[in-house]
Amino acid sequence: MKKYTCILCPVSCEMEAGQAVDHGEISVSGNACKRGEVYARMEIINPQRILTTLFPVTRGKAVPCKSGAPLDNHKLFDVIKLIKNSRAQKPVKAGDILLPNVLGTGVDIIATADRP
C-alpha cells in the first residue's frame, strides 16, 4: 500500500491505495468522494495532469494555454518542448486549438486567453 494525496479539491484527502502483485484489483481507502478513488487508481496505473503554460505567438506576447485533458506525466516535458518550438498566429481567441492531438495523445493544446 502506498500513500496518495488527492489533488482534485482543497480537502486534499490522504488516501492509501495499492494493487495486488499479480496486477489484480486496486484497493483505495481514505477518499472522501468517488473522484478520489478514480484519482488514486490513475496515480497507480498512469499519473496524468492538466498542463498549463505559455504558447509563443508571432509578433506578440505569448498566450496562456492548457491541455484539453490530462496528459501522461512522463510526456509533459516533451509536450512543452513542442509548444515552445511552435508559433501561433494572431488573432488568437480563447478556446482556439493551437496544437491538435499533441504527440499523438489525442489531447489538444487550447488557448485560454485572447491575443487580438
Partner 1 sequence: MYDVIVAGGGAAGIAAAISAVREGAKVALIEQSKPGGRLLQSIHNGFGDEFFGEDLTGPEFAARLASRLVSSGIKIIIATVTDVSSALTVTVRRPSGKLAELKAKAIVLATGSKEEPEPSTAPTSALRGVYTATEAQRLINIEGKIIGKKAVVYGSNTLAVILARRLTLEGVKVVCVCESREKPVALPKDIVQCLEDFDIPLYLNTTVAAEGESALRGVYIKKALSEPSFIACDTLILSPELSPDDTLTVGAGIVIDGKTRGAEVTSALETSVPGIFAAGSALHTQTSADDAAFEGMDAGRNAALYAEGKQETTEHVRITAGEGIHYVMPHTAPLEGRTKIFFRAADFRKAVRLDVRCGQDLIFAKRYPALLPGLLENIEISLNGLSQDVRLSLEEQ
Instruction: Tell me which residues touch partner 1 (CB under 8 A).
Output: 5-12, 14, 49-54, 61-62, 64, 66, 73, 76, 80, 84, 94, 112-113
To partner 1, the closest distance from the beta carbon of 95 in angstroms equals 9
- Which lies closer to partner 1 via its Cβ, residue 14 or residue 46? 14
- Which lies closer to partner 1 via its Cβ, residue 10 or residue 104? 10
To partner 1, the closest distance from the beta carbon of 57 in angstroms equals 9
Task: Give the residue among 2, 107, 95, 10 at the shortest CA–CA distance from 50.
Answer: 107
Taking a C-beta distance cutoff of 8 angstroms, is the pair 52, 65 a contact? yes
- Which lies closer to partner 1 via its Cβ, residue 3 or residue 100? 3
Give the integer Cα–Cα distance in Å for 6 and 58: 38
Give the integer Cα–Cα distance in Å for 3 and 54: 32
To partner 1, the closest distance from the beta carbon of 5 in angstroms equals 5
**Sign of the alpha-carbon torsion through 46, 49, 53, 55:** positive
